[in-house]
Chain A
Amino acid sequence: MMVTGEAVHPATLSFGDETLLLDPRGVLLHEASRTLIVADLHLEKGSAFARRGTMLPPYDTLVTLKKLAAIVAEWRPERLISLGDGFHDTAGARFLTGEAADRLEALAREVEWVWIRGNHDETLPDTLPGSTVDEIRIGGLTLRHLPDRRTDGLIAGHLHPVARIGNRQRRTRRPCFIHDRRLLILPAFGSYTGGLNVLDPAIATLFDTAATTHITGETRLFECPATRLMPDPPDWRRHRM
């Protein structure tokens, strides 16, 4: 969890002929166009589980939006792009009420909100503030939910990348950015999102061997050479909550 009051140190990255700022809180800033990019918010995941009888705490949407609002207040972007799976499911987007709905609207008054469609939220209700699109282009960049190997300068989400690293004494597993010359995948931002190890074929086969990971700490990013990444222990099935 973010330690409040401590300064956050972003990292600069040149990608697709554009300059990007990676924020350790898991978002991406394109300063030239005053655009903040965030992936896989999975809002209302708690209520989606409750509908099936698992009563997760109903605070996930609030937590996610508060965290996002703090970042928006700091960077003051003009535009906020949700890179798909902004909502965990369509019902969640339709029934959003109370403080969570208020917060979402308040945020939408400060920035122009663009929702890219994802596999979890292919149809979003018209009542949602902002516009809904399949993909968006900024300069040499293409922003879309699903990653692929065909598009140059593609920024995508969907896979919730995490990196596992360790030394002789300990191991840790943290969300990360991963990119090579053509593709950049953001970590999932939502408070109830798990992650997939970047060494899993679903991620690894998308990149050439020179992929770099930026692992998110609390206030900084940690770059780790691809050769030092560790696979998950065998029994940790793919997990995307």
Chain B
Amino acid sequence: MVETNAPELPAVLATWFEGRGWQPRHHQLAMLEGGGNAPDTLLIAPTGGGKTLAGFLPSLVDLIENGSRQSLHTLYISPLKALTTDVARNLQTPVAEMELTVSIETRTGDTPQNRRQRQRRKPPDMLLTTPESLALLLSYEDSGNMFGNLRAVILDELHAIATSKRGALLGLGLARLRRIAPGARFIGLSATIADPPAMLRFLTPAVDRARIINARGGERPETEIALADACMPWSGHMALYATAMVFARIEQVRTALVFVNTRAQAELLFGALWKMNERSLPIALHHGSLAVDQRRKVEAAMARGDLRAVVCTSSLDLGIDWGNVDLVIQVGAPKGVSRLLQRIGRANHRFDEASRAVLVPANRFEVLECIAAEEAMREGALDADPPAHAALDVLAQHVLGTACAGPFDPDLLFEEVGWTAPYADLDRTTFDEVVEFVATGGYALGGYDRFRRLAKQEDGTFRLADPRMIRAYRMNVGTIVEAPVMRVRLGRGRVLGEIEEYFVSMLTPGDSFLFAGRLLELVGIRNNEVMAQLAKSASEPKIPAYAGGRLPLSSHLAKRVRRILAEPGRWTDLPSQVGEWLRQQEERSAHVQDDELLVETFERRGRHYLVAYGFAGRNAHQTLGMLLTRRLQRAGCRPLGFVASDYCIATWSLEPPADVESLFSLDLLGDDLEEWMAESSMTRRLFRNCAVVAGLIERRHPGAEKTGRQVTFNADLIYDVLRKHEPDHILLRAARIEAAQGLTDIRRLSDLLNEVQGRIRHRRLDRISPFAVSIIATIGRERVEGDSVDAMLDDITRDLLDEALP
């Protein structure tokens, strides 16, 4: 229903809507309220709600009514390059049909040099770009001219970017735009989210004047948890036991999207599906390591409706709307409600019909996770993602970029940075330290004053001291630092994609591995490329793994899983295998109560195991494992290793742990944590990323491409020196903040420990419990780190000597 006081569409637009047989939706018209003085607006709408058109509608109306101003009118920013192209196409069609003279262009890393220059000289009415390209555009001296007359800035898929490090970069770019384009209205487009006010604050500092429009409607998705007839596995994440069932589902529908959680899982499932694909149904594979042209081909085939299914990872979480997907199959646990909803929304982009989805859990714990996710979706309860933090390395990059555009006043820049949500609470001292870092490296020892990169001028502004920095900045813009990768070439033919160098270094010629849906054999390395050929057969092919492939279970979902476990009354509703499993667990050990930490200890083949069910997610458990092992070591228990999952952590040692209760005391988060974090290879990796993003180490140097490996090596030296001589340096702080946020999940771990003090239920068992099987079965598949250099060298050289002896 259109409300009577809603603004009217210009005749040409109204006619166009009619011609299509469409009615403008309420939220689309609501975007027009206030006309030329409309406030900054966050539009929240489910997939298929005509969100993008709603975002552009005010600009179209203005351009129809007032004509082109021969300057950039509307800037659209999307997290995906591919999306800018698609949206441009979707806009050009109606603009052509209405015979409007509105120029629409994209600007991404793929845009040819001559068009980029022309775009700055003579911009189109509407420019569609990405956060990184925006940062680049802002680093030009003429950025004030280019953006000065902007009327609208549209941020698409804001939910997918606002909480990440890229969100910090985007936020800083928006603040810059706000300064140089005072006439611009900021419009955010987002999927349904847990905390709309926080998202509005990301969009605009003037929240009192701004508004949130919630699109009504959107049918609740119809989901179903599918259990194969086969016995439900106790552990593992691949869900290959369910391949036949997944295949049967694909056969029943026209087009299915099959989402998995990791690239390795995608390769395995794709291979397994094709093994039973006797009718050769067109089933394709899509993930982030495949060659770009390959991915584009799959996307195009999908758009044409040529495919029956695509097995994909988060690479297809966002993107172009395909009207023809009628089923989403999520294989493996969803890990979070918001992401699951996003994925399910990829089926059926018609607004008024329910999306259909099937959830396929990979093990018994995952069944509970799927049930919890269904329940959350029914209640409309989403995950609250922690907001982007004030990334100091990103700020350093922004300061340098700002200096590239011209001299800056530090007072004004500080004020501007405070407009962004991530940096709203940044103190002036830290800001000044970041500026000093950009200028001289910011070392307490000083000494580099004569080599300054930023020069302070008499009027207090900072000027770029060396114009060569501009080129270095432009080559290194962005927040994503990739692990070093190598291209994989099949025979003398085409490039299949990229795999991590680390994985390549573990292969020798003749080894077989699974990649791009093929069983390959390593032939050798030539011109920095992996040369591969098709392998005939292999008993155990290796599968490339990728750093950071797995997301941890969201705390919201974890809480719901615990609630199911804590209420035996509900178990009768569960699938019988799972209910039986929970009852056995209760009989042999105990069930998991809310607000309690169940800890089991038992002996098995001469080793003393300790399993704690924290439900705090992989990352927090990984940290807990490190800390527990250190403590067991000190207690003389001679620990041998640990392994962590989303649900629990298991350690094993030669001696039994004596006082289990005190193992989990709060001081676990004290000195040991600091020491371990500083030593861990994870913090080193994060430091390297911060050093690259902050511009201390160049990802790419004009003229000489550095390899990823070199960057790692250099960063390690710098890290050691800084830790010893300037432990409070801004880059170490940046790395520590980041480590605490993500990979160590210290906040979640400390929440857990606080919650369970005095509530540790210790069960001494005479054998392994049903729950513990899930984790103990994964031992040996996880990498254990943390040895001293000498212990590692000793281990390796001894192995080598053993091999050398007859």
Q: Which 10 A-B pairs have the closest CB atoms?
A: A55-B441, A167-B799, A234-B525, A59-B725, A50-B451, A217-B790, A233-B505, A228-B800, A50-B448, A236-B709
CB pair A165–B797 under 8 Å, yes or no, is: yes
A239 to B706, CA, bound (A): 10
Residue B547 is within 8 A (CB to CB) of chain A in the complex: no
Q: Which listed segment binds A: B309-317, B377-385, B465-473?
A: B465-473
A3 contacts across to B, CB distance below 8 A: 788
B800 contacts across to A, CB distance below 8 A: 165, 167, 224-225, 228
CB pair A1–B720 under 8 Å, yes or no, is: yes
Q: Which listed segment binds B: A11-19, A126-134, A169-177?
A: A169-177
B441 contacts across to A, CB distance below 8 A: 50, 55-58
CB pair A57–B447 under 8 Å, yes or no, is: no
Q: Which listed segment binds A: B207-215, B557-565, B711-719?
A: B711-719
Residue B440 is within 8 A (CB to CB) of chain A in the complex: yes
Smallest distance from the beta carbon of B509 to chain A beta carbons, Å? 12
Hey, what's the 0/1 contact readout for A148-168 against B, CB within 8 Å counting as 1? 000000000000000001111
CB pair A47–B447 under 8 Å, yes or no, is: yes
CB pair B501–A235 under 8 Å, yes or no, is: yes
Smallest distance from the beta carbon of B615 to chain A beta carbons, Å? 30
Smallest distance from the beta carbon of A26 to chain B beta carbons, Å? 13
A57 to B731, CA, bound (A): 11
Residue A98 is within 8 A (CB to CB) of chain B in the complex: yes
CB pair A51–B796 under 8 Å, yes or no, is: no
A-B contact pairs, 28 of them (CB 8 A): A47-B448, A47-B451, A51-B451, A53-B472, A54-B698, A55-B441, A55-B448, A56-B696, A57-B718, A58-B445, A59-B726, A62-B725, A63-B724, A165-B797, A165-B800, A167-B796, A169-B783, A171-B506, A174-B789, A191-B720, A217-B793, A224-B797, A225-B801, A228-B800, A228-B804, A235-B709, A236-B710, A237-B707
A47 contacts across to B, CB distance below 8 A: 447-448, 451
CB pair A235–B484 under 8 Å, yes or no, is: yes
B472 contacts across to A, CB distance below 8 A: 53
A223 contacts across to B, CB distance below 8 A: 797
Residue A215 is within 8 A (CB to CB) of chain B in the complex: yes
A59 to B445, CA, bound (A): 8
Hey, what's the 0/1 contact readout for A1-31 against B, CB within 8 Å counting as 1? 1010000000000000000000000000000
Residue A60 is within 8 A (CB to CB) of chain B in the complex: yes
Smallest distance from the beta carbon of B720 to chain A beta carbons, Å? 6
Smallest distance from the beta carbon of B359 to chain A beta carbons, Å? 36
A53 to B484, CA, bound (A): 25
Identify which of A57, A169, A170, A224 contacts B725 (C-beta below 8 A).
A57
Hey, what's the 0/1 contact readout for A167-197 against B, CB within 8 Å counting as 1? 1111110100000000000000001101000
Smallest distance from the beta carbon of A213 to chain B beta carbons, Å? 11
A234 contacts across to B, CB distance below 8 A: 486, 504, 525, 528
A225 contacts across to B, CB distance below 8 A: 800-801, 804
Q: CB within 8 Å of B: which residues of A?
A: 1, 3, 47, 50-51, 53-60, 62-63, 97-98, 165-172, 174, 191-192, 194, 215, 217-220, 222-225, 227-228, 233-237, 239, 241
B504 contacts across to A, CB distance below 8 A: 233-234
Residue B306 is within 8 A (CB to CB) of chain A in the complex: no
Identify which of A51, A166, A219, A233 contacts B709 (C-beta below 8 A).
A233
B725 contacts across to A, CB distance below 8 A: 57, 59, 62-63
Smallest distance from the beta carbon of B39 to chain A beta carbons, Å? 43
A116 to B115, CA, bound (A): 56
CB pair A57–B721 under 8 Å, yes or no, is: yes
Q: Told that A58-B448, A191-B720, A217-B793 touch, could you supply 10 new A-B pairs with CB distance under 8 A? A: A53-B468, A56-B696, A59-B721, A63-B724, A215-B793, A217-B794, A220-B790, A224-B797, A235-B501, A237-B707
Smallest distance from the beta carbon of A59 to chain B beta carbons, Å? 4
* A-B CB pair tally, cutoff 8 Å: 140
Residue B301 is within 8 A (CB to CB) of chain A in the complex: no
A165 contacts across to B, CB distance below 8 A: 793, 796-797, 800
Identify which of A54, A59, A174 contacts B793 (C-beta below 8 A).
A174
A220 to B437, CA, bound (A): 38
A218 contacts across to B, CB distance below 8 A: 788-790
A60 contacts across to B, CB distance below 8 A: 721
Identify which of B451, B708, B789 contacts A55 (C-beta below 8 A).
B451
Residue B229 is within 8 A (CB to CB) of chain A in the complex: no
Chain B residue nearest to A168 (CB atoms) is B799
Known: A222-B793, A233-B709, A235-B501. A55 touches B804 (CB 8 A): no
Smallest distance from the beta carbon of B700 to chain A beta carbons, Å? 13
Smallest distance from the beta carbon of B541 to chain A beta carbons, Å? 17
A98 contacts across to B, CB distance below 8 A: 447
Residue B453 is within 8 A (CB to CB) of chain A in the complex: yes
Smallest distance from the beta carbon of A53 to chain B beta carbons, Å? 6
Residue B795 is within 8 A (CB to CB) of chain A in the complex: yes
Residue B535 is within 8 A (CB to CB) of chain A in the complex: no
Smallest distance from the beta carbon of A17 to chain B beta carbons, Å? 29
CB pair B505–A57 under 8 Å, yes or no, is: no
Smallest distance from the beta carbon of A188 to chain B beta carbons, Å? 12
Known: A50-B441, A233-B505, A241-B714. A172 touches B790 (CB 8 A): no
Identify which of A55, A174, A237 contacts B453 (C-beta below 8 A).
A55
B6 contacts across to A, CB distance below 8 A: none
Residue B443 is within 8 A (CB to CB) of chain A in the complex: yes
CB pair B451–A53 under 8 Å, yes or no, is: yes
Residue B722 is within 8 A (CB to CB) of chain A in the complex: yes
Smallest distance from the beta carbon of A176 to chain B beta carbons, Å? 11
CB pair A222–B797 under 8 Å, yes or no, is: yes
Hey, what's the 0/1 contact readout for B498-525 against A, CB within 8 Å counting as 1? 0001001110000000000000000001
Known: A222-B794, A233-B504, A234-B528. A56 touches B710 (CB 8 A): no
Residue B792 is within 8 A (CB to CB) of chain A in the complex: yes
Smallest distance from the beta carbon of A221 to chain B beta carbons, Å? 9
Q: Which of B771-791 contact A (CB under 8 A)?
A: 783, 788-790
A15 to B380, CA, bound (A): 77
A166 contacts across to B, CB distance below 8 A: 796
A168 to B451, CA, bound (A): 47
A159 to B442, CA, bound (A): 32
A93 to B323, CA, bound (A): 69
B447 contacts across to A, CB distance below 8 A: 47, 58, 97-98
A218 to B476, CA, bound (A): 36
Chain A residue nearest to B719 (CB atoms) is A57
Smallest distance from the beta carbon of B46 to chain A beta carbons, Å? 45
Chain A residue nearest to B722 (CB atoms) is A57
Chain A residue nearest to B468 (CB atoms) is A53
B466 contacts across to A, CB distance below 8 A: 53
A167 to B501, CA, bound (A): 17
Chain A residue nearest to B790 (CB atoms) is A217
A219 contacts across to B, CB distance below 8 A: 790
B698 contacts across to A, CB distance below 8 A: 54
Q: Which of B430-463 contact A (CB under 8 A)?
A: 437, 440-443, 445-448, 451, 453
A218 to B790, CA, bound (A): 6
